[in-house]
């Protein structure tokens, strides 16, 4: 079980290698929501998302022997880019298995951060088999994007910073996908401030965490037909029990609300965030009663978005 | 003549009503430029640009009698929005004369900040004649966007903050249009730190300040065929002498370089800025020798851009 102490240790370990990201406010969005909103800007984080926290924590914990054989992953998204950056910084190599049809922006994100692309056919089974082959041939260590206690502890450092910087927070809203960020947030926040409420925001179109909570067991996604490319993963066996135990509520959000709130953040705050984090604002705006007059922390988890394909166009 | 003391007084006057905007850095752009870059984020400023500084200073200096008769302008851009906000806050009304074909985003910016639109036919002569009519009928005070010492003093507070926050600055790059921001920057910076160099960045396609400096007198723009909608104005009779006297150099920048640097700032810094300020980064990247190993302040003057019409698409 990950503890607050693990998160504190992770924070000491990764501190030299990550940004302590700023927390922004916006008076027009406060007015619109009826709450005081505090946006934790992980879109300004290294490699463009909070994922560098867990990735750096895990990479730093690898032994020299493990590390010398390289690191591998099938994540072509923010985890792949962050892992590549963390590994490059320590002086190693990351092999990222991704299908031929991966969008160019994701390929570039991985390459720019020093990752090496291993191509495969576009089907999950090929990704897994190619990854296995890489591991067999090189002895590389696979770093899972969320179902790993080192990752969960690293992601928890984000909420720790939020509570340190804004002690008056009444609640935090975190997007939920595989559950790494949400479980880390829960462990950090609930142990640092026992009155705080923690909510997960999840796309209606990929609501496995909501369903799993409802039925008391892990239920796979029925669809992943969401614009939030960072929120299509399935809740993990290590993250789900933490969420089940500690979360106040997981609330599903429609695609339209996610896109509307994305445009709102861009226009009013002048910052670039992904749909995978505008979902938190969308959830607050659709549940105003729940947040009325509260001090609400929202994790703006990342800013990696294809600027040639904006969802409102 | 505007003095540093005027700028200091303006700063005290407007401080309660503006943001002290943050200064961001970006390691990848430092690497690319070979300099240490400090981005003063006026895109996060109230009403979305530095224009609120000069507008607030001027509005606060109006007498109660003047103010009670209203304020008017023909600027449908950032000045119009900022003036509307400053006047609304003091409890008055702003009439903004603009042509029927003004882009919707600009109309909304003015309206959202409490300005009242007065429509006219789309030609400069109609704008001026309708403005005159408004003034005759209402006694409104016209606040010029830049050729006014109160405006110049207000805009100078931006550079003052930069030098206070980053005393190691070796130079500042400011976009130049009518010259309000550049002249205020020059007076503040050169009087606060006599070793500092100040450069103007101007579109090649609207290079009247560059030409005027070259020929020692005000030369009108030959074209205003630039994407920088905030940089199409002509240098003013009050701003030009300051620039002529104090600026180190004005350097013209191509449209392509402006657009490339815009995309670069969005992608790497995750902030939304206008082409009218990415021009400063473009200028630095095209003149690397001039800025090598220097601490360079760049004024990101505003973030009001139509998110449905991105220039690289």
Please name the member of A267, A303, A308 whose beta carbon is closest to the beta carbon of B307.
A267
Is the model more confident about A133 or about A76?
A: A133
Q: By CB neighbour count within 10 A (0-12 exposed, 13-18 middle, 19+ buried), where does B118 fall?
A: middle
B270: contact with A, CB 8 A cutoff: yes
Between chains, do B308 and A303 touch, taking CB under 8 Å as contact? no
The 10 Å Cβ neighbour count of residue B218 is: 18
Please name the member of B48, B308, B312 whose beta carbon is closest to the beta carbon of A270.
B48
pLDDT at B130: 95
State the smallest CA–CA distance between residue B31 and chain A in angstroms.
Answer: 13
User: Percent of chain A having pLDDT more than 90?
Assistant: 90
For A:281-310, CB contacts with B below 8 A are 303, 307-308, 310
- Residue A122 — pLDDT band, cuts 50, 70, 90? confident
State the smallest CA–CA distance between residue B233 and chain A in angstroms.
Answer: 24
Q: Which residue of B has its CA nearest to A263?
A: B307
A278: contact with B, CB 8 A cutoff: no
For A:32-61, CB contacts with B below 8 A are 43-44, 48
pLDDT at B69: 96
CATH class given for the domain over B4-49+148-300: alpha beta
Q: Report chain B residues whose CB lies below 8 A from the CB of A43.
A: 270
pLDDT at B102: 85
DSSP-derived secondary structure for B207-243: -HHHHHHHHTS----S----S-TTS-SPPPTTHHHHH
Domain spans of chain B? Answer: 4-49+148-300, 52-142
Please name the member of B24, B270, B273 whose beta carbon is closest to the beta carbon of A303.
B270
For the segment A109-124, the average pLDDT, to the nearest whole number, is: 91
CA-derived radius of gyration, chain B: 18
Q: Report chain A residues whose CB lies below 8 A from the CB of B271.
A: 270-272
Find how far residue B247's CA is from the centre of its chain.
16
State the smallest CA–CA distance between residue A242 and chain B in angstroms.
Answer: 32
pLDDT at B313: 81
Q: Which segments of chain B does DSSP mark as H helices, in order? A: 4-14, 27-33, 51-61, 64-68, 78-90, 104-112, 124-138, 149-165, 180-192, 208-215, 239-246, 255-269, 275-286, 288-291
Angle, vertex CA B237, rays to CA B233 and CA B241, nearest 5: 110
For the segment A226-255, the average pLDDT, to the nearest whole number, is: 96
Helix (H) or strand (E) holding A163: helix A149-165
Query: Does residue B194 sit in helix, strand or coil?
Result: coil
Q: Which residue of B has its CA nearest to A311?
A: B308
Q: Which residue of A has its CA nearest to B47?
A: A268
pLDDT in tens, A186-220: 999 999 999 999 999 999 999 999 999 999 999 99
Please name the member of A271, A308, A312 whose beta carbon is closest to the beta carbon of B272.
A271
The closest alpha carbon to B115, from B70, B62, B65, B60, belongs to B70
Between chains, do A308 and B313 touch, taking CB under 8 Å as contact? yes
State the smallest CA–CA distance between residue B141 and chain A in angstroms.
Answer: 29
Does residue A9 carry a pLDDT above 90?
yes
Pick from B18, B22, B270, B311 the residue to mutate for testing the A interface (most A CBs within 10 Å): B270
Please name the member of A267, A272, A313 whose beta carbon is closest to the beta carbon of B270.
A272
Q: Which residue of A has its CA nearest to B300?
A: A270
Q: How many contacts does A have with B, using Cβ atoms within 8 A?
A: 40
A284, two tokens: 């607050």
pLDDT in tens, A52-98: 999 999 999 999 999 999 999 998 889 999 999 999 999 999 999 99
Between chains, do A312 and B313 touch, taking CB under 8 Å as contact? no
pLDDT at A313: 81
Pick from B78, B106, B267, B311 the residue to mutate for testing the A interface (most A CBs within 10 Å): B267
pLDDT at A309: 87
Q: For chain B, 313 residues long, give each residue's pLDDT as a single digit of tens.
A: 999 999 999 999 999 999 999 999 999 999 999 999 999 999 999 999 999 999 999 999 999 999 999 999 998 889 999 999 999 999 999 999 998 888 888 899 899 999 999 999 988 788 899 999 999 999 999 999 999 999 999 999 999 999 999 999 999 999 999 999 999 999 999 999 999 999 999 999 999 999 999 999 999 999 999 999 899 999 999 999 999 999 999 999 999 999 999 999 999 999 999 999 999 999 999 999 999 999 999 999 999 998 988 988 8
Pick from A266, A267, A300, A301 the residue to mutate for testing the B interface (most B CBs within 10 Å): A267
pLDDT at B134: 96
pLDDT at A125: 84
- Residue A173 — pLDDT band, cuts 50, 70, 90? very high
- Residue A124 — pLDDT band, cuts 50, 70, 90? confident
Q: By CB neighbour count within 10 A (0-12 exposed, 13-18 middle, 19+ buried), where does A248 fall?
A: middle
Between chains, do B308 and A308 touch, taking CB under 8 Å as contact? no
pLDDT at A312: 87
d(CA A96, CA A131): 8
Residue range B52-142, CATH number: 3.40.50.1100
Between chains, do A307 and B263 touch, taking CB under 8 Å as contact? yes
pLDDT at A102: 85
């Amino acid at each position: 079980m990950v503890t607050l102490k693990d998160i504190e240790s992770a924070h000491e370990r990764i501190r030299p290698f990550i940004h302590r990201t700023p927390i922004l406010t916006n008076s027009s969005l406060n007015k619109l929501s009826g709450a005081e909103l505090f946006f934790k800007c992980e879109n300004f984080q290294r490699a463009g998302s909070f994922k560098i926290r867990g990735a750096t924590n895990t990479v730093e914990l690898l032994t020299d022997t493990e590390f010398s054989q390289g690191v591998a992953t099938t994540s072509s998204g923010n985890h792949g880019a962050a892992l590549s950056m963390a590994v490059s910084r320590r002086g190693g190599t990351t092999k990222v298995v991704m299908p031929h049809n991966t969008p160019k922006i994701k390929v570039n994100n991985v390459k720019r951060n020093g990752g090496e692309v291993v191509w495969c056919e576009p089907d999950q089974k090929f990704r897994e088999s190619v990854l296995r082959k890489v591991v067999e041939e090189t002895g590389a260590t696979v770093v899972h994007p969320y179902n790993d206690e080192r990752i969960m502890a690293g992601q928890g450092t984000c909420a720790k910073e939020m509570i340190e910087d804004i002690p008056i927070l009444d609640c935090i809203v975190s997007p939920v996908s595989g559950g790494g960020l949400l479980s880390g947030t829960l462990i950090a926040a609930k142990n640092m401030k026992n009155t705080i409420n923690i909510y997960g925001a999840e796309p209606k179109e990929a609501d496995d965490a909501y369903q799993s909570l409802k039925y008391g067991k892990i239920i796979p996604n029925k669809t992943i037909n969401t614009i939030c490319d960072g929120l299509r993963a399935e809740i993990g066996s290590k993250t789900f029990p933490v969420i089940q135990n500690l979360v106040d509520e997981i609330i599903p959000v429609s695609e339209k609300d996610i896109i509307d709130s994305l445009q709102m953040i861009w226009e009013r705050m002048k910052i670039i965030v992904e749909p995978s984090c505008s979902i938190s604002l969308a959830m607050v705006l659709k549940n105003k009663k729940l947040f009325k007059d509260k001090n609400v922390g929202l994790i703006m988890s990342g800013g990696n978005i294809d600027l040639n394909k904006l969802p409102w166009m």
